Structure 1
């Protein structure tokens, strides 16, 4: 067993707000007031009381605890709390002394004297606090006698002018009117990891910490208990981890105390409800009847806050209550309950019946293992339940090879449920098993997929290629799917040159009579490979075939993964509506089936399709959801991709703060050349463009891919090419932009997409000589090609750029119509920064328009704002340069940008805007 740290832990993880409230109470100017902390067992209520004692300073302390054993003794808790200061009761009025003495000596307190008793307690505390301020605490006030709780609540509401602080704690459902209360919610993942690290010899592996965090459900005591029972092998991630917090830990003892207070029939039905994971009310009703009672016996448990009962069934509102009810029951009680539930399941609930029987099996049982495997097929009871069934089937197997195969299936199901760390632990259990090539190959395929989404894509590529080769002879469909993921890993890492090897392997596996799903995968791999080598004549037909096959899939072949593959093909041939339809179907199907492992990828593809369709708000919503699911399922690489896409979407809207925040969330862990890194650079390049740093923008966007080497993010650079060209148009030489545009042109011309050809025409117009017929014709072609029913944002950008071109070519009258349309479109889209630029251009074209909608502080960078303020105060450019340690030329440059952003033309207007 791992020895937990013996160092006293004084930091309360995840309870900063509560600790702050305690310090505010104790350090307040009057020193008086009360707080009530309520939460489930193990949530840290007692730790907060201890914290209050530790920070009491020079206060005297009275401390008590509500005891369940004394719950039937009125005022027993009050007697224990006040016993140290009862000698001061002689200073109270005689009636109060008498009432207090009678109550605390067990003679009770009639209803007519309860006010006098409460006033006596308040008076006694006030007398005690005359010597020095007082802290009075009562932990678990709801567990003791009710009269004590009522008196303390009365006192706690009347401390405004007294140097008395009261801190009470109670269960999750306890509240008290007039007393500031704080519910102790679960710890987040970071704080949960910190609790474990505080108590283990060194930080545990990430996979172990994640599984323990899930088991602990944010309950501090559960995490402490789990840390205390880990073996060295479990701590290193080499052995299976516990299924629940230990029943003899602090949390288990707390629940056992609560359960022991319930009637026997209540505990019996409560255990049945805890073990019946399906929650079918009819099954519970029959089971309770077979046990000699009824579900009405749950009433005391419901009153105690352990369960909620309604016509839909029984629920456990506290995350760990179900597990602790099971864990604290005796072996005989659990066995009886499982057998009873198994008898009530019938043939329609085959998996649940098998799980109940497996729970009481004591040795290898091949027939039951087979029953579990067959019943779990298809995961109708949920992927997590199916995974547990296959894991148990592996335990009951009498053949090592069958056990290993079942463990791999259990790991696959765990991954489908969005539990990658659990899947890794199950795969880790294979290390001591037989080296069956087929089983090892399947394990490699899953290892590779886990690495692709959650770990190292280069490792994923190698592992997936090995796994595909291992299973190619027995399962070509699985081998093809693995190769498609291997290709995705190569693209994610920026190693597109390795895709040729992937395509070669896939070509050898292809057969003329392949079913549609396998044909779709083969077509996708062939199409992507051709796209990456710019062979669009071969890429187009293959990718379009994949889109058609995706729409035609029926029956078992319709999977979220297959639909995602078809959506990728649709994006590569620019059939945006079809790609969006396929990605949306993948999202819906993944949700319906509970396949959380593939949901972030499906949402990523839907967001990209929405970007191309000009639905930026929808794309942002898709990426936000994808980010949430990816974080919840530990898919670090998908997290980074969604953060990168959110950064791009914010940058395109010129929302600098949001874009930079998303980029900072990606962190420095992304590898240069990877897709998340490229998305972050794209976003920064757009922000450089918005701020007028054209050379920086062009250099950054040109670095996204390295033509001729097969490295970098070619597909991301294709998406970013319109911004690269726009930045390069301000530079004297732009070979990188011309090269990127040539790549974009070859792709755009191979598609049937008017929007791509519109962007191509706009790019050529930007690179044409200013004021030339070529430039004007390019812009007009772009406007003609922009779809009327989609891409409103890009059309507005073309109108803006065309208006800017006409104005700078000294054709302000012609420019105004385009600028007006751009301003109107941006305003309707909520793109305030672009609307402001269109407004500034309109002013520069001689149009009288309103003042900027946003203050200068929001439109200028920090340095620009300081220069503007100095100029508005009357400083010359030379004086500004001297005060800010800049060159006069730099100040001139910034001042031009300031005038442009604010839509003004003179220093007088600048002073007026800043005022």
Structure 2
């Protein structure tokens, strides 16, 4: 029986539904029964204690199933009924005799089972004459089976009596046909609340809290045991967390007692299954499956088979599947089975599984089992683990292998290098807290690094250990995936080995600071890593500087980018591999762009895009692709940027490089924004936010929240925008990219609501031109909104400096959209009603792409129409306003459609409610054709724009007329609003 902690009893986190049901049963005049079932530590005993406290005058009869008395028939029943046995004299003689025989150990023949059950029911009815009863039996399935049988009979007949019967068990098979409620794992919020309430004082860092909730799998007792036993270092995140809840805690003792009741061969088979399931990747919260072939071989080696697991299945610990397989429906049960086993039993199980994996091709799994059964140093096994991990796609498993290889290494420098690689694998797997712990443990255990280190058993220097696992082809991108050619085959003798290892560790720390913490902290760490690596691992030093450049842009300290660019240029060499050439070209192009030297930066960035498109084989890495995508956005080749970012997402997903996914999704979302695919951009951001949070990348998550806020604001969705900004809260440092994105979003909302002065004030402070501070790139993207706000506010001078920067950038690109936005801005700043304003508006509409970014074209039409109406040209205004309104309706931009409707009515047009039904009747291609035709395009013009034949357009138009029940283009325009 699991004794609930005081915290569970007082608070009962996550059990509000069960508490309500218990109170409802206790308050009802009629009787009833309820079976609470769930895994050990789920809070069954705590809920019974809750019922005892809220029984509201009911007399209490309480007992528990005891494993020691499981072979004594009716032992549990005797303890439950003992307080009311004095009322047995009121029972009929036959019932009284059968009841006395059963409870005194004389037994009860099968023919008398019904009499005994009625006797118990009658005894409870007699006891209830003095007042209603509450009867509870904890751990029903741990006690004797005859008691279970009788109580199940009684539970079905309680509605006629003022008796409530509450039972608990490990599963619902203990007492079938009784209303049951399964105790589900606590959700993350309740788990966090229980952890922090149990341990007063400062809460642990968010990654530690997340790791603990995952480790406990929502089990309340596991959370309590962890909170009670963690060291201060583990609580603060400076020491590695345990692999399972403590074995000497309440939950551990419960599992040991539960396992002790199983037959010895079942215990051995269960441990084999638990360890075999541990080496297969299983998503959190999913059943842990066991490889049936491996398990079958290991069981046969012991002279047993899968049938040995049947008693464990009856106890709810495992589920036997077909053919010959098994799975652990409760991941926590699997880890506790392994954790509570003796060291000898675990070693023997690992050796059996290693033997079972001989000849199966599962090299890494076999080596891990051998390593788990090995004490002391084993250099050969450590080398095997390293090589097997390098070819494995699961980064989490590879991190485990390299960490164990470090422990088995007999050379300190080699052990250090392997530990750094293990941390890199853990980071890529989306486990930053584990990576931090490995690096912290490294600093604690190694002390000063030796000045020399021999070559690794594989012939590689420690400096060339992989920063990231290899591509699926087995080949690698130097400096990004495997051994840099500049170090491959180099003699490991000399100080460069330890310098490279230390530099790679600093590079990893800096990257984690950049994605998870503050960019201002990341920058000095990354620059120091580049300095350390410059002479011993030039290509890794280049990666460190590229990350440093990202940190500069993230924090808004653009004036420091020149330093990064100079150091990158010093590392550049003729004959660099394509990925290195791409990154050095990217940095040079970004530096020139930030200086406003677009004539110099533009060609460099376009070259980086071209290099990204030409990468092949092992040179293709997510880092290289995201660099090329970023270059594409800076020179406004949006389609190419989208393709590169999409490739980066796919590649990072295929390789399991979770740490790189949020950045790739951010760039994909940005390219989708410029392509006018706002819904797709929002989906990319939502996916990026989910991955970033799961991977502990809080800084990157802030970028996605900021982008979501901007996308919502642009669509005038106030509630969604403000929700994202509120979610970002005060975690974004002023001047950082998330902060600037949030300010941009709020500025757009101000603009939508007509608060032009507020919008201009907010948007004008995103960057400080001439100082190199602030988010210059975000300011450039927000410039069209700033100009619009300043023009309406009557203070156009406030936007002219930002527009000058935007013009220089837009003019250096070949993007019609950017030039259209520039022309629109100049139209807004021109004297009202002037020929200059009209000329700029006409130019903007000519430049706007017809097949992309239709939302921005509609915004230009709206602004142009508004300008014409205010200059008393309503007839000219109505054409532009009709086209704008039609596009907004098709895009579902309801707020903008309403604003356009207001302008149309002000221009003297009688406008009704748009017919959304017509929109729903058409396919996507038909909608586009209908939109162009309603706007006045001829069939030939539509065919040209859509790259179709005129005959195809005629065919589609006939179908459109038929679906909408219309006959002319005039009716089509009216049907579309």
The CA distance in 2 between the partners of 1:105 and 1:153, in whole Å, is: 21
Aligned to 1:730: 792
The CA distance in 2 between the partners of 1:590 and 1:214, in whole Å, is: 24
The CA distance in 1 between the partners of 2:154 and 2:875, in whole Å, is: 78
Cα deviations across residues 71-97 of structure 1 (Å, max 9, x unaligned)?
Answer: 455544333223222333445566765
Between 316-325 and 161-170, the greater mean CA deviation after superposition = 161-170
Q: Is the 8 A contact 2:637 2:815 kept in 1?
A: yes
The CA distance in 1 between the partners of 2:23 and 2:892, in whole Å, is: 43
Matched, 1:358 2:371: yes
The CA distance in 2 between the partners of 1:154 and 1:735, in whole Å, is: 87
The CA distance in 2 between the partners of 1:766 and 1:111, in whole Å, is: 95
Matched, 1:339 2:351: yes
The CA distance in 2 between the partners of 1:176 and 1:636, in whole Å, is: 47
Aligned to 1:881: none
Between 819-828 and 207-216, the greater mean CA deviation after superposition = 207-216
**How many residues matched?**
849
Q: Is the 8 A contact 1:444 1:466 kept in 2?
A: yes
Q: Is the 8 A contact 2:8 2:43 kept in 1?
A: no
Q: CA deviation at 1:225?
A: 2.4
Aligned to 1:45: 44
Q: Is the 8 A contact 1:13 1:194 kept in 2?
A: no
Q: Go from structure 1 to structure 2 and tell me whether the alpha carbon gap of 1:36 and 1:629 turns closer, same or farther (over 3 Å shift).
A: farther
The CA distance in 2 between the partners of 1:830 and 1:69, in whole Å, is: 69
The CA distance in 2 between the partners of 1:722 and 1:48, in whole Å, is: 60
Aligned to 2:567: 505
Cα deviations across residues 591-648 of structure 1 (Å, max 9, x unaligned)?
Answer: 2222111111111111111111111111111111111111111111112111111111
Q: Go from structure 1 to structure 2 and tell me whether the alpha carbon gap of 1:569 and 1:152 turns closer, same or farther (over 3 Å shift).
A: farther
Cα deviations across residues 700-729 of structure 1 (Å, max 9, x unaligned)?
Answer: 111111111111111112222222222222
Between 370-379 and 660-669, the greater mean CA deviation after superposition = 370-379
The CA distance in 2 between the partners of 1:807 and 1:180, in whole Å, is: 71
Matched, 1:394 2:406: yes
Q: Go from structure 1 to structure 2 and tell me whether the alpha carbon gap of 1:510 and 1:9 turns closer, same or farther (over 3 Å shift).
A: same
Q: Secondary structure at the match of 1:430?
A: helix
Matched, 1:494 2:505: no
The CA distance in 1 between the partners of 2:120 and 2:909, in whole Å, is: 78
Aligned to 1:265: 265
The CA distance in 2 between the partners of 1:489 and 1:773, in whole Å, is: 46
Matched, 1:143 2:142: yes
Aligned to 1:410: 422
Q: CA deviation at 1:420?
A: 0.5
Aligned to 1:847: 909
Cα deviations across residues 302-345 of structure 1 (Å, max 9, x unaligned)?
Answer: 34332332459432221112212212222222222211211222
Between 453-462 and 153-162, the greater mean CA deviation after superposition = 153-162
Cα deviations across residues 463-488 of structure 1 (Å, max 9, x unaligned)?
Answer: 00000110111212211111111111
Matched, 1:810 2:872: yes
Aligned to 1:642: 704
The CA distance in 1 between the partners of 2:419 and 2:254, in whole Å, is: 35
Aligned to 1:832: 894
Aligned to 1:887: none
Between 201-210 and 682-691, the greater mean CA deviation after superposition = 201-210
The CA distance in 2 between the partners of 1:706 and 1:158, in whole Å, is: 79
Q: Is the 8 A contact 1:836 1:853 kept in 2?
A: no
Q: Is the 8 A contact 2:395 2:656 kept in 1?
A: yes
Q: Go from structure 1 to structure 2 and tell me whether the alpha carbon gap of 1:729 and 1:173 turns closer, same or farther (over 3 Å shift).
A: farther
Q: Secondary structure at the match of 1:62?
A: strand
Q: 1:565 aligns with which of 627, 638, 646?
A: 627
Q: 1:611 aligns with which of 657, 665, 673?
A: 673
Aligned to 2:474: none
Q: Secondary structure at the match of 2:134?
A: strand
Q: Go from structure 1 to structure 2 and tell me whether the alpha carbon gap of 1:812 and 1:470 turns closer, same or farther (over 3 Å shift).
A: same
After superposition, residues 466-865 of structure 1 pair within 5 angstroms as 466-850=528-912
Q: Go from structure 1 to structure 2 and tell me whether the alpha carbon gap of 1:208 and 1:177 turns closer, same or farther (over 3 Å shift).
A: same
Aligned to 2:252: 252
Aligned to 1:286: 297
Q: Go from structure 1 to structure 2 and tell me whether the alpha carbon gap of 1:9 and 1:567 turns closer, same or farther (over 3 Å shift).
A: same
Q: Is the 8 A contact 1:66 1:142 kept in 2?
A: yes
The CA distance in 2 between the partners of 1:402 and 1:73, in whole Å, is: 61
The CA distance in 1 between the partners of 2:231 and 2:251, in whole Å, is: 19
Aligned to 1:905: none
Q: CA deviation at 1:413?
A: 0.8
Q: Secondary structure at the match of 2:63?
A: strand
Q: Is the 8 A contact 2:140 2:174 kept in 1?
A: no
Q: Is the 8 A contact 1:22 1:52 kept in 2?
A: no
The CA distance in 2 between the partners of 1:717 and 1:456, in whole Å, is: 21
Q: Go from structure 1 to structure 2 and tell me whether the alpha carbon gap of 1:567 and 1:264 turns closer, same or farther (over 3 Å shift).
A: same
Q: CA deviation at 1:384?
A: 1.2
Q: Is the 8 A contact 1:271 1:325 kept in 2?
A: yes
Q: Is the 8 A contact 1:13 1:191 kept in 2?
A: no
Q: Secondary structure at the match of 2:850?
A: coil
Q: Secondary structure at the match of 1:769?
A: coil
Cα deviations across residues 533-592 of structure 1 (Å, max 9, x unaligned)?
Answer: 111112111111211221222222222222111111111111111111111111112222
Cα deviations across residues 16-60 of structure 1 (Å, max 9, x unaligned)?
Answer: 523652564267464855544332222222222223323334333
Between 807-816 and 502-511, the greater mean CA deviation after superposition = 807-816
Between 821-830 and 512-521, the greater mean CA deviation after superposition = 821-830
Q: Secondary structure at the match of 1:543?
A: helix
Aligned to 1:910: none
Between 426-435 and 625-634, the greater mean CA deviation after superposition = 426-435
Matched, 1:213 2:213: yes
Aligned to 1:25: 24
Aligned to 2:512: 450
Aligned to 2:317: 306
Aligned to 1:884: none
The CA distance in 2 between the partners of 1:736 and 1:312, in whole Å, is: 75
Q: Is the 8 A contact 1:448 1:463 kept in 2?
A: yes
The CA distance in 2 between the partners of 1:386 and 1:299, in whole Å, is: 34
Q: Go from structure 1 to structure 2 and tell me whether the alpha carbon gap of 1:368 and 1:119 turns closer, same or farther (over 3 Å shift).
A: same
Q: Secondary structure at the match of 2:658?
A: coil
The CA distance in 1 between the partners of 2:836 and 2:633, in whole Å, is: 30
Q: CA deviation at 1:674?
A: 0.8
Q: CA deviation at 1:502?
A: 0.8
The CA distance in 1 between the partners of 2:505 and 2:36, in whole Å, is: 48
Q: CA deviation at 1:756?
A: 1.4
Cα deviations across residues 716-743 of structure 1 (Å, max 9, x unaligned)?
Answer: 1222222222222211112232222221
Q: CA deviation at 1:675?
A: 0.9
Q: Is the 8 A contact 2:170 2:315 kept in 1?
A: no
Aligned to 2:491: none
Cα deviations across residues 735-768 of structure 1 (Å, max 9, x unaligned)?
Answer: 2322222211111111111121222222222222
The CA distance in 2 between the partners of 1:815 and 1:365, in whole Å, is: 82
Cα deviations across residues 95-121 of structure 1 (Å, max 9, x unaligned)?
Answer: 765665565455666778767766655
Q: Go from structure 1 to structure 2 and tell me whether the alpha carbon gap of 1:738 and 1:13 turns closer, same or farther (over 3 Å shift).
A: farther
Aligned to 1:274: 274
The CA distance in 2 between the partners of 1:245 and 1:196, in whole Å, is: 13
Give unpaired runs (5+ residues) of structure 2: 281-289, 450-497, 917-977
Q: Is the 8 A contact 2:626 2:644 kept in 1?
A: yes
Give unpaired runs (5+ residues) of structure 1: 855-915
CA RMSD of aligned residues (A): 2.9
Q: Is the 8 A contact 1:25 1:33 kept in 2?
A: no
The CA distance in 2 between the partners of 1:149 and 1:777, in whole Å, is: 89
Q: Is the 8 A contact 1:358 1:392 kept in 2?
A: yes
Q: CA deviation at 1:297?
A: 2.9
The CA distance in 2 between the partners of 1:412 and 1:214, in whole Å, is: 21
Cα deviations across residues 489-524 of structure 1 (Å, max 9, x unaligned)?
Answer: 111111111111111111111112110111111111
Q: Secondary structure at the match of 2:793?
A: coil
After superposition, residues 63-78 of structure 1 pair within 5 angstroms as 63-71=62-70, 73=72, 75-78=74-77
Q: Go from structure 1 to structure 2 and tell me whether the alpha carbon gap of 1:538 and 1:75 turns closer, same or farther (over 3 Å shift).
A: farther
Q: Go from structure 1 to structure 2 and tell me whether the alpha carbon gap of 1:751 and 1:260 turns closer, same or farther (over 3 Å shift).
A: same
Between 583-592 and 821-830, the greater mean CA deviation after superposition = 821-830
Between 371-380 and 604-613, the greater mean CA deviation after superposition = 371-380
